[in-house]
């Protein structure tokens, strides 16, 4: 500590009462994390994009949904993989072998990998109704190719 500094001004440290707590350590509470992946094939065209992706083309997409939470349910699960896969497969059923631009969700919003990741987050969150307290979807990743992906992480996601 430099002369004249208090613990409260260094690296987010604060001293509530006699206890010193670092916000970074608090954010790293123990968490369980689970992920599932599925694949689908769809076509799209990026409106307003200047380049080859403005043309109709397709991808063999891969999507991964990740959830995290501090506690497990009575069975010892954060989420039942079967239930999470059921939800994910239901979302994919709407998109698989479709021209994404023709679907209601993408008539205005461009069907980019980024927007697909947000779409999967929103739909999974809406359909996955029974999670242990404090659990949440922390990340959705959508791969357009083996080497190109986009992620969506909600602002309040568990760390």
User: Which residues are known catalytic residues?
Assistant: 53, 97, 144
Contacts of 114 (CB under 8 A, 6+ apart): 142, 150, 152
Strand stretches in 1-135, DSSP E: 13-14, 21-22, 32-44, 57-69
Rounded to whole angstroms, the Cα distance separating 9 from 141 reads 37
Q: What is d(CA 72, CA 107) in angstroms, rounded to the nearest whole number? A: 39
User: Alpha-carbon Rg of the chain, whole angstroms?
Assistant: 20
């Amino acid at each position: 500590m430099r002369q004249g500094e208090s613990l409260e001004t260094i690296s987010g440290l604060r001293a509530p009462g006699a206890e010193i707590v670092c916000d970074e350590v608090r954010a790293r509470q123990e968490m369980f994390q689970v992920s599932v992946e599925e694949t689908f094939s769809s076509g799209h065209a990026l409106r307003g994009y200047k380049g080859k992706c403005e043309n109709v083309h397709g991808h063999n997409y891969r999507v991964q949904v990740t959830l995290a939470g501090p506690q497990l349910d009575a069975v010892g699960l954060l989420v039942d993989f079967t239930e999470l896969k059921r939800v994910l497969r239901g979302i994919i059923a709407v998109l698989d072998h479709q021209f994404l631009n023709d679907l209601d969700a993408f008539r205005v919003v461009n069907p980019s990998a980024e927007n697909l990741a947000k779409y999967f987050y929103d739909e999974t969150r809406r359909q996955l109704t029974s999670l242990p307290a404090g659990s949440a979807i922390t990340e959705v990743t959508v791969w357009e190719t083996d080497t190109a992906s986009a992620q969506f992480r909600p602002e309040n996601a568990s760390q």
